[in-house]
Amino acid sequence: MTLLSTRGLAKDFGGLRAVHNVDFDLPQGQIRALIGPNGAGKTTFVGMLCGRLTPSAGRVAFDGADISTLPAHKRIRLGMAYTFQITSVFARLSCHENVALAVRRRHGDEASEVPAALVRVGLGHLEQALAGDLSYGHQRLLEIAMGLAQRPRLLILDEPTQGLSDSEIQAFKALIRDLSAEATILLIEHNMDVVMATADRVTVLNFGEILAEGTPPEIRADRAVQAAYLGTG
């Protein structure tokens, strides 16, 4: 079953077309990686998926319903969660309080769910630490915990491993595989080791259009992708 899809999706900024007529399908339960060079249109495309940007043309569908003009907060209620490329934690609140906000939004059990979410991303020992005192990498993990606490059907992770240590990246890979049993995942990531180790399929954007789609080995072997992005063509 297709959980998220776009048809003819496009976004213009003045005279510049950042995304051009993208048809995209994400089946339920899949881990999909979205990759491409800087300026390829990834952030703009994802902004339209999560409701931060309104498409200039085309449509976005979630679970069969057209959500093209639905505000971001209403998409969250449908079961979409999005972690930003730039961290958006509440710096003056503790890690516990940050995650608790997400739990309260869906009327969950704060006492049990907050610690569990933090432990799951490797921050259980920092539950009472102020978010603003965390390293950048740990703020990324806290944001993922906030996403998990919403129990989303679709989890969109934008550059989640940025700022993580090698050991934290290894733990993140295991976490993503574990999460795939509960949620569909769209991963926007520059770390190709993470992409190749975790994704079921990969979509490559270039100049606002889909250049290629396939399994990680297919994408690694694609000559057009090598020339445009992987630097091996």
pTM of the model: 0.90
Residues 121-178 have pLDDT tens digits of 999 999 999 999 999 889 989 999 999 998 999 999 988 898 889 999 999 999 999 9
Residue 84's pLDDT is 62
- Report helix, strand or coil for 53: coil
Residue 128's pLDDT is 97
- Residue pointed to by tokens 């610690």: 115
Sign of the CA dihedral running 144, 123, 132, 95 = positive
- Residue pointed to by tokens 């940025």: 162
Residues of the chain with pLDDT under 50: 233
The CA distance from 154 to 183, in Å, is 6
- Residue pointed to by tokens 């965390």: 134
The CA distance from 70 to 88, in Å, is 21
Amino acid at 163: G
- Residue pointed to by tokens 């259980």: 124
Which residues have CB under 8 Å from 152's CB, separation 6+? 79, 80, 81, 183
CATH tag, 2-230: 3.40.50.300
Residue 233's pLDDT is 44
The CA distance from 140 to 83, in Å, is 8
Domain residues of the chain, as ranges?
2-230
CA distances from 172 to 26, 100, 194 (A): 21, 22, 9
Residue 2's pLDDT is 96
Amino acid at 38: N
- Residue pointed to by tokens 């496009």: 10
Residue 231's pLDDT is 61
b/e per residue, 148-174, with b = 16+ CB within 10 A?
A: bbbbbbbbbbbbbbeebeeebbeebbe
